C-alpha cells in the first residue's frame, strides 16, 4: 500500500516541488511552547492536581507512551526514506507501523506526552489549555497535510483515510 515518488500520479518531482502548506516551522512547538508557559505559570500561581501518587504515576506512563508513539512515527518515516518535515515533499505514503492505527501518531503521541507531563508535574494549567495546541495542530498542520496528501496520492490516500482514524 506504499507508493514511491515514481509510482505517484505526479510524474515528475522537481526541486521546487513543495510539501504541505504548513505555516508552523516545527509542529512540536505547538505543544512545547504552551506546556512550558503553563509549567512556568504553575511556579508563580500553583494550581495543583489532587491524588499526587496516582496522577504522578499515570502521568509518567502517559508521557513515556506518548514519546514512544511519536518517536515510532518519526522512525517509521525514516525507515521509509521520507521526510518528517511537513512543508517538504514526501516520497512515500507511509501506512505501516503506527500508521496502521493512526494517521497522525506523531501528533497523537505529542498530545499524550503533553497531558502526561501535566499529570506528572501535578498541575491543572496545561490541562486547562490542552484543547488549544490540539486545535492549532489540527487547523495549522493536519488539515494542510491531508490536503497535500490527497493531491499527492489521490485515491490511495483517500482509501487510507477511510480505513485509519486521524488520531486513535
Confirm whether 154 is domain-assigned: yes
Confirm whether 70 is domain-assigned: yes
Confirm whether 33 is domain-assigned: no
pLDDT tens digits, residue range 85-132? 988 999 999 999 999 999 999 999 999 999 999 999 999 999 999 999
Confirm whether 69 is domain-assigned: yes
% of the chain surpassing 70 pLDDT: 90
Range of the domain at 57: 51-168
The string of DSSP letters for 83-104 reads: -S-TTSPPS----SGGGGT-S-
Confirm whether 135 is domain-assigned: yes
Using the predicted structure, report yes or no on whether residue 40 has a pLDDT greater than 60.
yes
pLDDT at 18: 81
Confirm whether 6 is domain-assigned: no
Confirm whether 108 is domain-assigned: yes
Q: How confident is the model at residue 23 (pLDDT cuts 50, 70, 90)?
A: confident
Confirm whether 44 is domain-assigned: no
| Structural domains of the chain, count | 1
User: How many C-beta atoms lie closer than 10 Å to residue 20's C-beta?
Assistant: 22
pLDDT tens digits, residue range 73-82? 999 999 999 9
Amino acid at each position: 500500500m506504499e507508493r514511491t515518488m515514481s509510482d505517484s500520479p505526479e510524474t515528475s518531482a522537481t526541486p521546487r516541488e513543495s510539501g504541505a502548506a504548513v505555516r508552523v516551522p516545527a509542529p512540536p512547538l505547538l505543544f512545547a511552547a504552551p506546556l512550558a508557559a503553563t509549567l512556568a505559570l504553575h511556579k508563580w500561581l500553583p494550581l495543583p492536581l489532587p491524588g499526587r501518587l496516582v496522577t504522578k504515576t499515570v502521568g509518567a506512563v502517559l508521557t513515556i507512551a506518548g514519546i514512544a508513539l511519536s518517536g515510532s512515527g518519526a522512525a517509521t518515516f525514516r525507515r521509509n526514506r521520507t521526510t518528517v518535515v511537513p512543508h517538504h515533499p514526501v516520497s512515500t505514503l507511509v501506512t505501516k507501523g503506527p500508521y496502521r492505527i493512526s494517521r497522525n501518531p506523531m501528533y497523537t503521541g505529542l498530545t499524550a506526552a503533553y497531558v502526561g507531563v501535566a499529570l506528572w508535574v501535578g498541575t491543572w494549567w496545561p490541562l486547562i489549555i490542552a484543547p488549544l495546541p490540539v486545535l492549532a495542530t489540527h487547523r495549522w498542520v493536519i488539515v494542510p497535510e491531508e490536503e497535500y496528501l490527497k493531491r499527492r496520492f489521490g485515491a490511495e490516500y483517500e482509501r487510507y483515510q477511510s480505513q485509519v482514524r486521524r488520531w486513535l
